[in-house]
A and B are shown apart, each in its own frame.
Chain A
Amino acid sequence: MSKARKILSLVLLVLMVSTTLSMYGCTTNSTTKDTGEKTQVGSKDTKQSQEPVKITLWTAPDWKGVYDPTVAGANYGDFYKFAGKDFVKENSNVTVNVESVPGADRDAKLSIAIQSHTQPDIYVGADFTMFDYVHNGLIVPLNDVITDADKQDIPASIWDGVTANGNIYMFPYYTETGHMALNVDLFKQAGAEALIPKGGANTIVRWTPDEFKDALRAVKKLDGVYPFAFYCGSTQGDTYNILLLEMFGAKLFNKDGTQVTINDANGVKALEFIKSLKDEGLLAPGAESLNVLDVYQLFLNKKTAVSIFNNVNYDALNNGLKAKSIQEPFNIQMAFLPSAGDPMCYAYAMGSVVFDSGNELQTQTAKQFVKFYTNEPYVDASMSMLPLRKSVAQKLLDPLKVKIAESAEFSVSFSQKAPGYLKLRASLFPELQAFMTGQKTAQQALDSYAKNANAILKDGVCKFSPINGKK
């Protein structure tokens, strides 16, 4: 028996040595992709369309189910799997692989994937998260799969946000909008109904910072409920924070997007306004440790009277009421973010970008797939989110939803085309934390952020960038 074992270990040895040697034989810039088990992988560049092609699609977890998220077993990415099945029927050489990637892991996973050449072909997510990749030349333009009809159907400002140098880098599909909401029942309980801005339940009302503060004061007396919750525990949800900082008219960037200007007098005023809310006891405690999901949680559990609120929460609220996991009554009044000037909200374009896979056939197929599911009949599925296509938005049944979709015109676009935006986010929240815990004054915190941010911008702009026409 010992002889047999010796032979076995020798065989194992030979196997290991040969695999080690083969590793050095492999090209380091492999043009083949392999993200699944060891199944057939797409081949190298050929002209034949019979070659098997594998398309990988990653999506952010926003959207469950295909047409109805409340169906049992609905999961993220279902829509793409659904469309994928039909696409594969028409293109028999293609396989489609769909994965859902949580928001917090997205940067890490994409970063690793890109560096190891295992990046997905398609990524579906928010426009502002993708621009760093555009700057690095990793995303291919989609102009050839976008028709004029498409361009008419989606607002120009949205197209503008995803276009650079005439190249359209994302096919917008649905939008995530962010506003605020008030819990009308809690206001009634506090006898503060009068302080809710007028307009009616099916509209989005506007208010100034002072009106906002007065409303919060009026509900302070409620037991076990916080008037409002501010958060800066992590980078998620920083858009709201920026909008709040802009409430007196400050802007995050200057006109070209080359300098951060949030630390001017109006920005400082806004930050100090937030502090004053804390000092008056109008905020949930521990803003420096809360993150945006906590805050949504608080509102949906009726622990805050006013909260930041996006369309995903709106759907979650309605679905929760339907499924009885959220208790009636829960009447809300939607509002814009408080501002001294025009009303503010945000509206990201969520859509698909196509990564350059290095393989012509693969990239083309990916583009075709994007075109496939962003057109009839699949485009109706975007109604379970907030559709961007005007033709689809008109089909919405909920009038408030229509209003929400329309409010995109008031969306404040901060220059998401700035390079290094994701790094900028990472330097904002520590400053806010320092401010909320009293370690820095408002001016100090914002100046420090501006300093770091400008350095990042400068570094990013100098790099290779198709935006600057250096391609």
Chain B
Amino acid sequence: MNSMIMEHNMIYKAKLKKEFLKQKDGYLFILPQMLLFLVFMVYPVFEGLRLSFYNVGFVTKTFVGFRNYIELFKDSIFIKAVLNNLQFVLIVTTLSVVFGLFISTAVFDKTSKYMSFIRGCYYLPVMITMVAFSITWLWMVNPAMGLVSHVLNSIGIQNVNIMGNSTVALYILIVVMWLFNLGEAVILYLAAIIGIPQEQFEAAEIDGASRFMVIRFIIIPLVSPTTFYFVILCFIDVIKVFLAVHLMTAGGPNYATTTMMYLCYQEAFVMNNMGKASAIGMMMFVIVSLLSIIAMTRLKAKN
């Protein structure tokens, strides 16, 4: 009897040990990532949150509670920046998804050389880097020396600065961001469509479906996971829009193209107020989370 209990105990201990060993593997595997994550991401985020409650100068730091946030909400420039960001994110993402699907469904069944060419063309803005892309566009829209003004002049519209119109300037930046993100959309969607099993298409062909119907009812639903991921990635990438604004318009004219990240940069490095800058950072986080949650629930519902 005793020996049976002992045996049970041993088996039980062996099982626990095996369980523990199994657990240990899991923890060991995630350890490097988690460690880096905690030190280089979690801690700074909390520190940023803490800083946002202070008024931080070069050498002084005073606790001000929610004052930074209240000032932000009262600031019409900040509100404008938030609205600009929303326009950026929503327009760029929607256009990227729509065009990404459009382009990839138009070319996925052509020769691979053609596909590579298209992929390359659309990915070009990313390859040449945002800096070079923005600089080239900036120079093309330069009112005194640029290509666009020359074209306008030759059709009789003289002395117009398209970047001087608040709305147009914003839309030009949106176009720049859109072209930049479109490349990734094309690549992801093309890859996803290629991954669709052949049987789906064969079945459709047998049923006599038109190309459009195949696209609409087979391809698009099947790549919806890609859509889902791309939308989230796009939100994250576009909410941070900074370079295009910094290099092309400096937030102008008259704050028309200011974005939250640009304001954050100004507050941090020109106004030297890290507290306010951190507050703007926190607001960016809140807004992008809200957008993502909304997107996730709506996309999940569609599925």
Task: Say if the two chains contact directly (CB < 8 Å).
Answer: yes
- B243-283: CB near A (< 8 Å → 1, else 0) gives 00000011111110000000001101111101000000000
Do the beta carbons of A289 and B253 come within 8 Å of each other? yes
The stretch among B31-39, B180-188, B293-301 that forms the contact with chain A is: B31-39
Instruction: Name the distance in Å between B259's Cβ and chain A's nearest Cβ.
Output: 15
Instruction: Name the distance in Å between A222's Cβ and chain B's nearest Cβ.
Output: 14
- A365-378: CB near B (< 8 Å → 1, else 0) gives 00000000000000
Instruction: Name the distance in Å between A298's Cβ and chain B's nearest Cβ.
Output: 6
- A–B Cβ pairs within 8 angstroms, 6 of them: A133-B58, A229-B144, A281-B159, A286-B164, A303-B144, A434-B254
In the complex, what distance in Å separates the CA atom of A224 from the CA atom of B143?
13
Do the beta carbons of B270 and A426 come within 8 Å of each other? yes
In the complex, what distance in Å separates the CA atom of A346 from the CA atom of B239?
41
Do the beta carbons of B142 and A286 come within 8 Å of each other? yes
Do the beta carbons of B161 and A285 come within 8 Å of each other? yes
CB-based nearest A residue for B56: A115
In-complex Cβ contact of B269 among A9, A13, A112, A281 (8 A): A112
In the complex, what distance in Å separates the CA atom of A132 from the CA atom of B165?
34
For residue B155, CB closer than 8 A to chain A, the reply is: no
Do the beta carbons of B28 and A433 come within 8 Å of each other? no
CB-based nearest B residue for A229: B144
In the complex, what distance in Å separates the CA atom of A422 from the CA atom of B166?
25
Which of B57, B165, B266, B269 neighbours the largest number of chain A CB atoms within 10 Å of its CB?
A: B269
Do the beta carbons of A423 and B144 come within 8 Å of each other? no
Do the beta carbons of A111 and B149 come within 8 Å of each other? no
In the complex, what distance in Å separates the CA atom of A363 from the CA atom of B30?
47
How many A-B residue pairs have C-beta atoms within 8 angstroms? Tell me.
Answer: 124
With A108-B265, A286-B144, A290-B144 known as contacts, the answer to whether A430 contacts B255 (CB < 8 A) is yes
Do the beta carbons of B59 and A137 come within 8 Å of each other? yes
Which residues of A lie under 8 Å from residue B144 when comparing CB positions?
226, 229, 284-286, 290, 294, 298, 303
Instruction: Name the distance in Å between A209's Cβ and chain B's nearest Cβ.
Output: 22
B residues lining the A interface (CB < 8 Å): 28, 31-32, 35-36, 39, 57-60, 141-145, 149, 158-161, 163-166, 169, 249-255, 265-266, 268-272, 274
In the complex, what distance in Å separates the CA atom of A16 from the CA atom of B164?
52
In the complex, what distance in Å separates the CA atom of A430 from the CA atom of B32?
48
With A107-B270, A233-B250 known as contacts, the answer to whether A138 contacts B164 (CB < 8 A) is no
In the complex, what distance in Å separates the CA atom of A452 from the CA atom of B39?
40
For residue A50, CB closer than 8 A to chain B, the reply is: no
215-247 of chain A: CB within 8 A of chain B: 226, 229, 233-235
Which residues of B lie under 8 Å from residue A9 when comparing CB positions?
28, 31-32
Do the beta carbons of A423 and B271 come within 8 Å of each other? yes
In the complex, what distance in Å separates the CA atom of A12 from the CA atom of B165?
56
Which residues of B lie under 8 Å from residue A235 when comparing CB positions?
250
Do the beta carbons of A288 and B266 come within 8 Å of each other? no
Do the beta carbons of A433 and B254 come within 8 Å of each other? yes
Do the beta carbons of B270 and A423 come within 8 Å of each other? yes
For residue A123, CB closer than 8 A to chain B, the reply is: no
CB-CB nearest 10 A-B residue pairs: A286-B143, A286-B161, A108-B269, A433-B253, A434-B254, A285-B159, A289-B163, A284-B144, A288-B253, A234-B250
In-complex Cβ contact of B145 among A107, A303, A422, A430 (8 A): A303
In the complex, what distance in Å separates the CA atom of A132 from the CA atom of B158?
43
CB-based nearest B residue for A10: B28
CB-based nearest A residue for B160: A285
Q: Determine chain A's interface SS by DSSP, over half rule.
A: helix
For residue A439, CB closer than 8 A to chain B, the reply is: yes
Do the beta carbons of A437 and B274 come within 8 Å of each other? no
For residue A189, CB closer than 8 A to chain B, the reply is: no
For residue A114, CB closer than 8 A to chain B, the reply is: yes
For residue A20, CB closer than 8 A to chain B, the reply is: yes
Do the beta carbons of A136 and B57 come within 8 Å of each other? yes
In the complex, what distance in Å separates the CA atom of A419 from the CA atom of B169?
33
In-complex Cβ contact of A430 among B163, B165, B254 (8 A): B254
Do the beta carbons of A284 and B143 come within 8 Å of each other? yes
A residues lining the B interface (CB < 8 Å): 6, 9, 12-13, 16-17, 20, 23, 107-108, 111-112, 114-115, 132-133, 136-138, 226, 229, 233-235, 281, 284-291, 294, 297-298, 301, 303, 422-423, 426, 429-431, 433-434, 436-437, 439, 463-464
Instruction: Name the distance in Å between A282's Cβ and chain B's nearest Cβ.
Output: 11
Do the beta carbons of A294 and B142 come within 8 Å of each other? yes
In the complex, what distance in Å separates the CA atom of A133 from the CA atom of B58?
9
Which residues of B lie under 8 Å from residue A108 when comparing CB positions?
265, 268-270
Which residues of A lie under 8 Å from residue B143 when comparing CB positions?
284-286, 289-290
Do the beta carbons of B39 and A288 come within 8 Å of each other? no
In the complex, what distance in Å separates the CA atom of A437 from the CA atom of B60?
40
Which residues of B lie under 8 Å from residue A136 when comparing CB positions?
57-59
Instruction: Name the distance in Å between B31's Cβ and chain A's nearest Cβ.
Output: 6
Do the beta carbons of B164 and A288 come within 8 Å of each other? yes
Do the beta carbons of A297 and B160 come within 8 Å of each other? no
In the complex, what distance in Å separates the CA atom of A303 from the CA atom of B161?
17
Which residues of B lie under 8 Å from residue A298 when comparing CB positions?
144-145
Do the beta carbons of B39 and A20 come within 8 Å of each other? yes
CB-based nearest A residue for B165: A437
CB-based nearest A residue for B152: A285
In the complex, what distance in Å separates the CA atom of A465 from the CA atom of B207?
82
With A9-B32, A136-B59, A298-B145 known as contacts, the answer to whether A439 contacts B254 (CB < 8 A) is yes
Do the beta carbons of B269 and A294 come within 8 Å of each other? no
In the complex, what distance in Å separates the CA atom of A434 from the CA atom of B28?
59
Do the beta carbons of A233 and B268 come within 8 Å of each other? no
Which residues of A lie under 8 Å from residue B165 when comparing CB positions?
437
In the complex, what distance in Å separates the CA atom of A439 from the CA atom of B272?
29
Instruction: Name the distance in Å between B108's Cβ and chain A's nearest Cβ.
Output: 41
Instruction: Name the distance in Å between A455's Cβ and chain B's nearest Cβ.
Output: 12
In the complex, what distance in Å separates the CA atom of A422 from the CA atom of B58?
14
CB-based nearest B residue for A463: B57
Which residues of A lie under 8 Å from residue B268 when comparing CB positions?
108, 111
Do the beta carbons of B164 and A436 come within 8 Å of each other? yes
CB-based nearest B residue for A420: B271
Instruction: Name the distance in Å between B226's Cβ and chain A's nearest Cβ.
Output: 33
Which residues of B lie under 8 Å from residue A429 when comparing CB positions?
250, 252
Do the beta carbons of A13 and B35 come within 8 Å of each other? yes
In the complex, what distance in Å separates the CA atom of A430 from the CA atom of B257?
11
Which residues of B lie under 8 Å from residue A286 when comparing CB positions?
142-144, 149, 161, 163-164
Known contacts A235-B250, A294-B145; can you find 19 more A-B pairs with CB under 8 A? Answer: A108-B269, A111-B270, A133-B58, A136-B58, A234-B250, A284-B143, A284-B144, A285-B143, A288-B252, A289-B143, A289-B249, A289-B252, A290-B143, A423-B271, A426-B266, A430-B251, A430-B253, A434-B254, A464-B59
Which residues of B lie under 8 Å from residue A288 when comparing CB positions?
161, 163-164, 252-254
In the complex, what distance in Å separates the CA atom of A23 from the CA atom of B272?
26
In the complex, what distance in Å separates the CA atom of A286 from the CA atom of B168?
13
Instruction: Name the distance in Å between B20's Cβ and chain A's nearest Cβ.
Output: 15
In the complex, what distance in Å separates the CA atom of A423 from the CA atom of B255?
15
Which residues of A lie under 8 Å from residue B269 when comparing CB positions?
107-108, 111-112
Which residues of B lie under 8 Å from residue A303 when comparing CB positions?
144-145
Which residues of A lie under 8 Å from residue B252 when comparing CB positions?
233-234, 288-289, 429-430, 433
